Structure 1
């Protein structure tokens, strides 16, 4: 368990069915820390950007129930494959193809924790032709859609429950676009109260190799944010 607001995991973690093959997926140490700190056994956890299933794998290992949603059916299929392992815990784990901006199949105030890792606008595109895929959207359009994600997150969480997500800043023509802080504000505007800002050190960034032999006049982005937000009674 991490005890400060600076997290660093040089070894990403390879237990169970975890691997780094799915581009952009987060280290399992991150959802493990968040799940252990902000939930208890048999709680219901939501990951509305399922990817390769890292969060749900940890939920299963830690005895939590979970729902994973992704707009891309290929991601859902991959997650289902990665979730095919046995463990001592008896969790209820569900995956579904769906849109993070519209989760009508989940009841109001029914989830105990959100633990998710959205795309960083269009830095990594996870599909070629899925119109609703947020990873295909430019910076400003992405933030507009994230407003809907934040409102849905607030709706489905129980009172005093926690929403956690990791995101990083991006560059455009050498200048920083503060995607992290801008995204955080969308969740605050939706009604959440900011509980923690965790700085996560980034390791093994593929763009580092690209820029190694090229001239650049800016610092390499080597941090990401993990935001912890609480749904307070209104």
Structure 2
């Protein structure tokens, strides 16, 4: 099955990163991309994944839409988009941002991605399945995005978080076509004076729960990460004065659905 539009006859000139280490100098700020939402990821991530794992006009589904980064990339790359978010303000913001766009192949909804029946209703209304799913969940309660008790950013216990994220995965992966791909973008957290490897907890849960193949573990770092930029910054002083290392990376994990 051909899963993308890449021209392999000109493979040497393709700007698709096939390495497991992605070092990026700064966030793409062109077009509709604005860094107005704490925790949004850089546009280069969905751009790379969408071009690698979908063809034009196929459907990209995002259970944690955030401020619309992936939608704006789908607009640029001519992919249809479905996005859910539990934050009503963000749904309104993204809707307003797209109001004057000529691109109309998108469906954004206020929805708790753990809600089986509401998700079912929306997909029945849209009458689509997804060819790629991209998940960028909250990193537990590091940033609380809403006060909704169903918001994963309200969860401070890692076991509870993994159980809830498992429900999300069970709920949304049924709408991904068999043989297609999904990706999670997630970082680790530091709690009670130790690192909690949240990304690997998520990976372990997915591998134990679903019939999937893990196709890649990518380590990503953006050099211009404000607040932690520069070797003489306050973060470096704090690390030297203590016993920990500064988080500069996140993980991008790619899976192939086989059920």
Q: What's the TM-score once normalised by structure 1's chain length?
A: 0.91
After superposition, the Cα gap between the structure-2 partners of 1:84 and 1:65, relative to the gap in structure 1 and judged at 3 Å, is same
User: What does residue range 126-205 of structure 1 map to in structure 2 within 5 Å?
Assistant: 126-127=145-146, 129-138=147-156, 139-188=158-207, 189-203=209-223, 204=225
How many residue pairs align between the two structures? 230
Verify: 1:226 aligned to 2:257, yes or no: no
* Structure 1 residue 217 displacement after superposition: 1.4
Between structures 1 and 2, the one with greater helix share: 2
* Structure 1 residue 100 displacement after superposition: 1.4
In our comparison, the structure showing a higher alpha carbon Rg is: 2
User: What does residue range 21-40 of structure 1 map to in structure 2 within 5 Å?
Assistant: 21-40=36-55
Which of 108, 118, 128 is the matching residue for 1:95? 108
Which of 7, 32, 57 is the matching residue for 1:42? 57
Verify: 1:64 aligned to 2:88, yes or no: no
Verify: 1:14 aligned to 2:40, yes or no: no
Which of 103, 118, 123 is the matching residue for 1:106? 123
SS in 1 for 2:123: coil
Q: Is the 8 A contact 2:21 2:218 kept in 1?
A: yes
1:154, 1:146 → 2: CA distance?
12
Q: Which runs of 5+ in 1 are unaligned?
A: none
Q: Is the 8 A contact 2:63 2:135 kept in 1?
A: yes
SS in 2 for 1:15: coil
* Structure 1 residue 152 displacement after superposition: 1.8
